[in-house]
A and B are shown apart, each in its own frame.
Chain A
């Protein structure tokens, strides 16, 4: 048994609560910004999972591998055009097309099949993509320099990397744009309608297949963007690049309530913040993933539909 005083001496509480010392307070803010930035990237990936699940009712386990595809495309196009922004635009468009093709070839023929068949197919697509990447690019890690040393910003004792701020800002803009699109565009409303009731949506004259196509395109587009920001921090590309962020984002989507767009955003940000704070507290660092997946289990136990997931109300 430890005394209260010993307990409070733990670093996490120094970091989170005892920020009377300015340095620690600044470190807290810095860590929070890093967490939000990483969380934004997770959220963007999680949005792809959650939107595809909500609308096509399938868990696209190959979604993480689109990040990897995006990574290699960035690698190739940065080499060709020598401009990261143009390479990103090309990659995002190609990934969107890639997502559409994947849906047409792998998932559309299975519409109406048992969910298990679709799930196994998704896992198969994931391995197929990883193997193809291995055949084309080899197992050696590739490096891509998106920007030559963006540098850091100093605000008092607060030191933040410019890439972190770019990521955070871009994630906010992209997610705000997506939210407005879903809420106010005709296609966005159709997406909500299809996710709620596919049959009734068809009765409105909505072509459900084209809504599913659009959803895959948007999800893959977001994964390409996430890939860019991921490589901004850690510019190494290999065939399993997408696995870990994919699993993290899937966890984020389930924590937030799979199918829920604000849920995916919240879940992603939550995981990002946890990851950055546990990285700061040395005795928690080895357990980052254990803590993240532990939270997933806890939330599934307490609220199986996720933080912001909807419980179906049926009125007859």
Chain B
């Protein structure tokens, strides 16, 4: 069953059209990757789905509800979380306070505690540093915090925008390992990546975005073997 369906999505920045009628879906329980070069429209796709960009046409259906015109905070409240590009953690707040912000809509204190325990289990380092000001964390730790913060909302769909950006190869491995773990725990994932190789390795299905259009789609394992993809994105 499709958890997220995007129909004929167009996004405009003034007179510039960033997305030109894209269609894709994310089935429940899948990891879906959206790959493409810089400027292909990946982040525009992510931001328009979650309502941060309102100048758009088309239809976005999430969990059987039409969310096209919904405000971001309403979309978040029905179970969609996004880890934005560049992490964007709250630098002046502590790690713990950042995590609390992630559970902003959760009124039940017991549930917040449970969610906290879960993310601390996934990222023991954050527990050690819970009283540290988030801006003083390393890049890798900030990415872990950004992911944890999104998980605090207990999303049905977790969207990750360039989680590997600016991280060392070792940390990239770690982050992707964690994404896999989150998926195994039952969360559906939509992943946007420039690092196509890593993304295709963990994804079930993938779409290739080029200058605002989806030019190719298929099972991730098949795209990994596709010659065009190899040449354009995998560097081999």
Contact = CB atoms under 8 A, between A and B. Distances in A.
A270 to B, nearest CB: 23
B76 A189 contact: no
A316 B165 contact: yes
A186 B102 CA distance: 12
A199 B52 CA distance: 7
A298 interface: no
B76 A199 contact: no
B149 A204 contact: yes
B90 A203 contact: no
Interface in B60-77: 71-73, 76-77
B76 A203 contact: yes
Contacts of A205: 72-73, 76-77, 104-105, 153
Nearest to A112: B54
Nearest to A200: B88
A140 B52 CA distance: 50
A268 B87 CA distance: 36
Contacts of A202: 51-52, 71-73, 76
A276 B165 CA distance: 55
Nearest to B52: A199
Contacts of A199: 52, 84, 88
B73 A197 contact: no
Contacts of B100: 186, 189
Nearest to B150: A203
B71 A207 contact: yes
A283 to B, nearest CB: 44
Chain A interface mostly: helix
A199 B76 CA distance: 13
B90 A197 contact: yes
Interface in B129-158: 135, 139, 142, 149-150, 153
Nearest to B142: A315
A206 B73 contact: yes
A206 to B, nearest CB: 6
Interface in A35-69: none
Contact of A189 (B77, B93, B105): B93
A62 B32 CA distance: 50
A190 interface: yes
A205 B104 CA distance: 6
A310 B135 CA distance: 12
Contact of A196 (B86, B90, B139, B165): B90
B52 A204 contact: no
B99 to A, nearest CB: 10
A202 to B, nearest CB: 4
A190 B101 contact: yes
A190, A204, A207 pick with most chain B CB within 10 angstroms? A204
Interface in A175-220: 186, 189-190, 192-193, 196-197, 199-208
A21 interface: no
Given A315-B135, A316-B86, A316-B166, A206 B104 contact: yes
A201 B139 CA distance: 20
A186 B104 contact: yes
Given A205-B77, A206-B73, A196 B153 contact: no
A5 interface: no
A200, A206, A310, A313 pick with most chain B CB within 10 angstroms? A200
A190 B103 CA distance: 11
A190 to B, nearest CB: 7
B93 A192 contact: yes
B137 to A, nearest CB: 9
B188 interface: no
Nearest to A201: B101
A207 B51 CA distance: 12
Given A200-B88, A204-B101, A204-B104, 19 more contacts: A189-B101, A192-B93, A196-B90, A196-B91, A196-B92, A202-B51, A202-B76, A203-B50, A203-B81, A204-B102, A205-B76, A206-B73, A206-B101, A207-B71, A310-B92, A313-B91, A313-B135, A316-B86, A316-B139
Interface of B: 50-52, 71-73, 76-77, 81-82, 84, 86-93, 97, 100-102, 104-105, 135, 139, 142, 149-150, 153, 165-166
Q: Top 8 A-B pairs ranked by shortest CB distance?
A: A205-B76, A202-B72, A205-B105, A200-B88, A204-B104, A207-B73, A204-B101, A205-B104
13 contacts: A189-B101, A192-B93, A196-B92, A200-B84, A200-B88, A200-B89, A203-B52, A204-B76, A204-B153, A205-B72, A205-B105, A206-B104, A316-B165
Interface of A: 186, 189-190, 192-193, 196-197, 199-208, 310, 313, 315-316
